[in-house]
Amino acid sequence: MKIAIFGGSIAGLAAAGRLEQQGHDVSLWEKNSTPSGGGFGILLPSSALGAFDALALGDAVRQAGHPIERCDLRAGEEGSFHQQALTDTHAISRSSLIGILRSSLEKTTFHGDATFVDFDFDGTGRARHGLLSDGRKVEADLFIGADGVRSTVRERVLPGLPLSEVRVVEMVGSIDGAKIPPFLTNTFSKTLFHHQGLAIGLLPVSDDCLVWFIQADPLRNPEIFSQGRALQNWVGSVARRCPSPVRELCLEIDPLGSRLCRSTDRELPSQFHRENVLLLGDAAHPLLPFTSQGTGSAIEDARDLSRLLERLPNNLEHNLQQLARQRLPILRERLRVGRRLQRQFLAPGGSERHGPVPLAS
pLDDT in tens, 302-330: 999 999 999 877 899 999 999 999 999 99
Residue 348 belongs to a domain:
no
Cα–Cα distance between 265 and 77 in angstroms, integer?
Answer: 31
pLDDT classification of 164: cutoffs 50, 70, 90: confident
Query: Is 20 a domain residue?
Result: yes
What CATH number does residue 326 fall under? Answer: 3.50.50.60
Do 20 and 108 form a contact (C-beta atoms < 8 A)?
Answer: yes
- Residue 80, pLDDT score: 61
pLDDT category at 45 given cuts 50, 70, 90 is very high
Average predicted confidence (pLDDT) for the chain:
91
Kindly state whether residue 54 falls inside one of the protein's structural domains: no
15 in any annotated domain: yes
**Taking every pair of C-alpha atoms in the chain, what is the biggest distance, in angstroms?**
66
pLDDT score for 361: 36
Rounded CA separation 305/46 (Å): 20
Strand order in 198-206's β-sheet? 41-44, 80-93, 66-75, 187-193, 198-206, 209-216, 164-176, 259-265
Whether the predicted pLDDT of 356 surpasses 60 = no
pLDDT computed for residue 81 by the predictor: 75
> Is 330 inside a domain boundary?
yes
What's the number of CA atoms in the CB half-sphere (13 Å) around residue 53? 8
What secondary structure letter does DSSP report for 14?
Answer: H
Point out which residues pair with 121 in neighbouring strands.
127
Q: Domain limits at 306?
A: 2-38+93-164+266-343
Domain membership flag for residue 125: yes
16 assigned to some structural domain: yes
Structural contact between residues 59 and 231, judged by C-beta atoms closer than 8 angstroms: no
Res 354 pLDDT > 60: no
Whether residue 138 is predicted with pLDDT greater than 90 in this model: the reply is: yes
| Residue range 250-267, pLDDT digits in tens | 999 999 989 998 888 999
In a domain, 30, yes or no: yes
pLDDT range class, residue 166, cuts 50, 70, 90: confident
The number of folded domains in the chain is 1
* Mean pLDDT, rounded, for 137-145: 97
